[in-house]
Amino acid sequence: MDNKGQKWYFKSWSLAVSFFFIGPLMLPLVWVNPGFTKKKKIVISVVILIFTCLLAAIFLRSLKYLDNYYKFLQNEIY
């Protein structure tokens, strides 16, 4: 993909940075990007959605562990 002449929000570095800051909310930028083929857009979207689901699962598991820890502390105090 040639980044010359593209708007800054279609460049690869901009898409990567926006994914780290806003996550899957940047998918519309992928789909309107004229530099990507339809196959590449689908692959990028699937990868982003899988990564987001993994992060959500990790977050939910950490909340479960945190809840168990606070219940343990509450039982130890009383």
Does residue 19 lie in a domain region? yes
pLDDT above 60 (res 43): yes
Does residue 38 lie in a domain region? yes
Report d(CA 75, CA 20) in Å as an integer: 39
Q: What is the pLDDT of residue 2?
A: 54
Does residue 46 lie in a domain region? yes
Selected residue with higher pLDDT from 2 and 8: 8
- pTM value surpassing 0.85: no
Which range marks the domain in which residue 18 is found? 8-77
Does residue 37 lie in a domain region? yes
Number of domains in the chain: 1
Specify whether the CB–CB gap between 33 and 41 falls below 8 A.
yes
Does residue 2 lie in a domain region? no
Selected residue with higher pLDDT from 28 and 76: 28
Q: What is the pLDDT of residue 3?
A: 59
Does residue 1 lie in a domain region? no
Q: What is the pLDDT of residue 31?
A: 93
Q: What is the mean pLDDT of residues 18-39?
A: 92
